[in-house]
Structure 1
Amino acid sequence: MTTLIIGGTGTTGARLASLLPEARVGTRKPVRDNHVRFDWDVPATFETALEGIRKIYLIPPIGVVDPVPVVESLLARARLVRRVVLLSSSAVPESASGMGALPALVRALPEWAVLRPSWFMQNFTGDHPLADGVRAGEIVTATGDGRVGFVDAGDIAAVAARALTDPVPHNTDHVITGPQALSYADAAAIITEVTGRPVRHRSVSAEEMTERIAAGLPREFAALLAGLDEDIRGGAEDRVTTTVQDVTGRPPLSFREFVRRA
């Protein structure tokens, strides 16, 4: 157990843990032998989680506008760690503060990789507001006709596994997408075709989207998420990369196949 997977029971972390069964899984509620308690809100949990660790899969705290202070605190305690693989996002630009400042922290280590996946296909299923829309038959976003290279969390985990275990460190940013860029209307049409259950997309303004999101999240964070929708409307996520194929040696999962499996 020289690798710590933070968020090891989450969407990408659980999939990564299945690929690296000898890793230590950091979670707020440990239930297995390879689990250890890790809670971003409780820095006292950092020391035990980091004991003997040389590599970290780092998922920053969710819903925090500026996670830099707490991530800096973790890395300062990670005295034996040489390699960190950070889960960032293709939608988060570099900046001097906030989420965009995290890549600079990990690049200061000898070995690193920054994963910049596009939006998760898994957002259309499970416990997510977008999935609630799918079940209700209407997906609501502020994206307009903007397209996204939706990516499967399993493909993100596969890239992360290689970035953590390859003998030569990647020391690069990996922009990770699926094989095709789709609008939310395109995605709704595929879901309708594959499942036989009608789903449509309704585009709203960023202001209305902020109000919808703020019903369950802090307003500042809700405005940030609605702003990402606006970026999609402007074409910021309309791209496809070959990262999954290049790093893992196999093609990424298509959205249609994801819907069939889900």
Structure 2
Amino acid sequence: MRIALTGATGTVGGQVARLLAPRYDLSCLTRSPERAAARLPGPGLTVETDLDDISSLTRALAGADALLAVTFDPLRDTHDEHLLTAARRAGVRHVVKVSALAVADPGAQDAITRWQRACEERVRASGLSWTLLRPRAFMSNCLDWTRSVREEGVVRTLHGSSANSCVDPRDVAAAAARALTSPACAGRAYALTGPAPLSARQQAAQLAEVLGRPVRHEELTEAEALARWRARYPDALAAALLESADRQARGAKSAVDHGVREAIGREPGTFRAWARRHGAAFRTEEAEAVGNAVEKAAEKPPAVPVEAQTSA
């Protein structure tokens, strides 16, 4: 069985590659094979292509049986259309789309969620067999706090007491790996959450327990949070993230679903367990470099956010 992956150097795709490489023929689609090769579990896995070029995608997907579709840019909504067009032309039979749990909430109308809904609609209408993975926010988003925790013992967020049933990316990757290889997952949408809702204040407290030193939470104002997002993303995405954070403050992201158990047959991982695996990143730069650099690189968020990774 041949499996094609997009986003193979990102939060989920890299872990999917490591899970599947020992048993399946993988093609990791990327614009930068040399850079991607350093993050993948073995040589010869990369195929150079471009999500803006249907012809190159069709060539890259030739012979693939299944495709993991991870796209990153809500401001360029053609990437999913190109992938699906190329997949049909190349004879791909099954596509697994990483979406976001926010799409199931009628009250979620921010620009990023609307983009994810449109992506799902394209998958459903593609004529291909499909599986939809809808994660809540990734626990790995907390890696954005590493510097402030190391240097100040501080986590700063907006709406720090609001809860999110965030999910371990490792569980999302395991669900993706099964969906790519098991016909039993076809035609299903999995709501992927952690085992309990947590606020940023609670996450900071658990980090403190793992690290053995104080970590406090400081509340950002709405203006401060928006300024931080605008420094990283276009204004339209920053506004969407603010709208999503306000929805979380109203309790929209605290529900726990059973999609992880349904997809992979075990309970989802806890935030405390995730924090233990990544504790070195929050201690010192030296410890991070020695103990956690490779895994952290694999979980680094993309330049433009998938909604699930930032705010689902």
Task: Flag whether TM exceeds 0.5 (same fold).
Answer: yes
Residue of structure 1 aligned with 2:159, choices 143, 158, 173 = 143
How many angstroms does 1:44 deviate by?
A: 5.4
The Cα shift of 1:42 comes to 5.2
Measure how far apart 1:43 and its partner are.
Answer: 5.0
Question: Deviations for 1:177-216, whole angstroms, at most 9, x for unmatched residues?
Answer: 1111101100000001110232222233433311111112
Question: Is the aligned partner of 1:58 residue 2:65?
Answer: no
- Among 113, 118, 134, the residue aligned to 2:136: 118
Amino acid at match of 1:194: V
Q: Is 1:199 aligned to residue 215 of structure 2?
A: yes
> In the alignment, what sits opposite 1:256?
272
Q: 4+ runs of 1 displaced by more than 6 Å?
A: none
Partner of 1:232: 248
Q: Tell me which residue corresponds to 1:172.
A: 188
Identical aligned pairs, as a percentage? 35
Question: Are residues 66 and 100 of structure 1, via their aligned partners in 2, closer, same or farther at CA, if it must alter by over 3 Å?
Answer: farther
Q: Is the 8 A contact 1:83 1:111 kept in 2?
A: yes
- Alpha-carbon distance in structure 1 between the residues aligned to 2:156 and 2:55: 40
Q: CA deviation at 1:74?
A: 2.2
Asked if residue 76 in structure 1 is aligned to residue 92 in structure 2, the reply is no
CA contact (8 A) 1:142 1:233 kept: no
Aligned-residue Cα RMSD (Å) equals: 2.2
CA distance in 2, matches of 1:199, 1:42: 47
1:40 maps to what in 2?
51
SS in 2 for 1:188: helix
Larger helix proportion, structure 1 or 2?
2
Separation in structure 2 between the aligned mates of residue 133 and residue 231 of structure 1, nearest angstrom: 26
Aligned partner (choices 87, 107, 116) of residue 98 of structure 2: 87
Number of the residue aligned with 1:18: 18
SS of 2:133's partner is strand
Aligned residues: 257
Contact persistence 1:139–1:201 (CA under 8 A) = yes
Q: Name the residue aligned to 2:9.
A: 9
Aligned to 2:122: 105
TM-score (norm 1): 0.89
Structure 2's unaligned 5+ residue stretches are 38-42, 279-312
CA contact (8 A) 1:138 1:201 kept: yes
Could you list the per-position Cα deviations for residues 140-163 of structure 1 after superposition, in whole angstroms to 9, with x for gaps in the alignment?
222342111121111001111111
8 Å CA contact 2:175–2:264 kept in 1: the answer is yes
Which residue in the other structure is 1:185 paired with?
Answer: 201
- Relative to structure 1, is the Cα distance of residues 155 and 28 closer, same or farther in structure 2, using a 3 angstrom cutoff? same
Taking a change above 3 Å as real, the CA distance of residues 225 and 132 of structure 1, as seen in their structure-2 partners, is farther
Alpha-carbon contact 1:28-1:39 (below 8 Å) kept: yes
Query: Is the Cα contact below 8 Å between 2:159 and 2:245 reproduced in 1?
Result: yes
1:224 to partner: Cα distance:
1.3
Is 2:55–2:86's contact at 8 Å kept on the other side of the alignment? no
Aligned counterparts of 2:199 and 2:46: Cα–Cα separation in 1: 38
Unmatched runs of 5 consecutive residues or more in structure 1: none
Please say which of residues 193-202 and 182-191 is displaced more in the overlay: 193-202
In the aligned structure 2, how far is the partner of 1:235 from the partner of 1:33? 46
Secondary structure of the corresponding residue to residue 23 of structure 1: strand
Corresponding letter in the other structure for 2:49: F
- Between the two structures, name the one with larger relative contact order (CA 8 Å, sep ≥ 6): 2
- Choose the corresponding residue for 1:134, options 139, 145, 149: 149
- SS for the counterpart of 1:238 is coil
Q: Distance in 1 between matches of 2:147 and 2:31?
A: 25
Once residues 227 and 133 of structure 1 are traced to their aligned partners in structure 2, the CA distance between those partners, rounded to angstroms, is 25
Partner letter of residue 18 of structure 2?
Answer: S
Deviation of the 1:124 alpha carbon: 1.8
